[in-house]
Amino acid sequence: MAESTDNLAAVLHGIDDLRMEQIPIPVPGPHQVLVRVHTVGICGSDVHYWTHGAIGNFVVREPMVVGHETSGVVAGVGSEVKDFQVGDRIAMEPGLPCKGCEHCKKGRYNLCADMKFFATPPINGTLARYVVHDSAFCYKWCSFVGTSVGVTSPLEPEKAVGRGDEGREDGRSRKFSSNSQIEEWEPFQVLRDFHELLIQPINGAFPLQNPSEDVILHRPHRLRGPRRLGQRPSLAPVGRLPDNVSFEDGSLLEPLSVAVHACRRANLQMGNRVLVLGAGPIGVLNMMTAKAAGAGRVIVTDLDDSRLALAKKLGADEVINVRNKRVVDIRAEIILAMGSEPDISIECTGAQPCVETAIMTTISGGVIVLVGLGASRIEIPIIESACREVDIRGIFRYVNCYPTALELVASGRIDLSGLTRAHYPLEQTLEAFKRTQKADVVKVFIQC
Q: Which is nearer to ligand NAD, 373 or 422 (CB)?
A: 373
Q: Which is nearer to ligand NAD, 88 or 254 (CB)?
A: 254
- Kind plus residue range of the DSSP H or E element containing 188: strand 188-190
Indicate whether 58 belongs to the interface with ligand NAD (CB under 6 A).
Answer: no
Q: Binding ligand NAD by CB under 6 A: which of 146, 162, 187, 281?
A: 281
Indicate whether 301 belongs to the interface with ligand NAD (CB under 6 A).
Answer: yes
**SS3 state at 179:** coil
- For 339: left if phi > 0, alpha if psi spans -120 to 50, otherwise beta; the answer is left
Task: Name the packing angle between helices 352-361 and 327-338 (round to 10°).
Answer: 50
Indicate whether 380 belongs to the interface with ligand NAD (CB under 6 A).
Answer: no
Q: How far is the CB of 391 from ligand NAD (least distance, A)?
A: 16
Q: Which is nearer to ligand NAD, 87 or 278 (CB)?
A: 278
Cis check for the bond before 381: say yes or no (omega within 30 of 0).
Answer: no
Q: Which is nearer to ligand NAD, 164 or 372 (CB)?
A: 372
Is there a contact between 250 and 71 (Cβ–Cβ < 8 Å)? yes
- How far from chain centre, in Å, is Cα 165? 33
The contact set with Zn ion (CB under 5 A) reads: 97-98, 101, 104, 112
Looking only at residues 315 through 344 of this chain, which bind ligand NAD when binding is defined by CB under 6 A?
Answer: 322
Q: Judged by CB under 6 A, how many residues of this single chain contact ligand NAD? A: 29
Query: How far is 165 from 175, CA to CA, in rounded Å?
Result: 5
Is there a contact between 251 and 69 (Cβ–Cβ < 8 Å)? yes
Residue 166 burial by CB count (10 A; 0-12/13-18/19+): exposed, middle or buried? Answer: exposed
Indicate whether 208 belongs to the interface with ligand NAD (CB under 6 A).
Answer: no
Is there a contact between 318 and 340 (Cβ–Cβ < 8 Å)? no
Q: Binding ligand NAD by CB under 6 A: which of 47, 235, 395, 444?
A: 395
Q: Binding ligand NAD by CB under 6 A: which of 46, 186, 249, 302?
A: 302
Q: Which residue stretch of 219-227, 332-340, 370-378, 425-433 sits at the interface with ligand NAD (rule: CB under 6 A)?
A: 370-378
What separation in angstroms does the CA of 239 have from each of 11, 164, 229, 393? 38, 17, 26, 39
Q: Which is nearer to ligand NAD, 206 or 396 (CB)?
A: 396
Q: How far is the CB of 355 from ligand NAD (least distance, A)?
A: 9
Q: How far is the CB of 60 from Zn ion (least distance, A)?
A: 24
CB hemisphere CA count around 177 (13 angstroms) = 13
Q: How far is the CB of 116 from Zn ion (least distance, A)?
A: 10
Give residues in contact with ligand NAD (CB under 6 A).
44, 258, 277-283, 301-304, 307, 322, 348-351, 353-354, 371-374, 395-397, 439
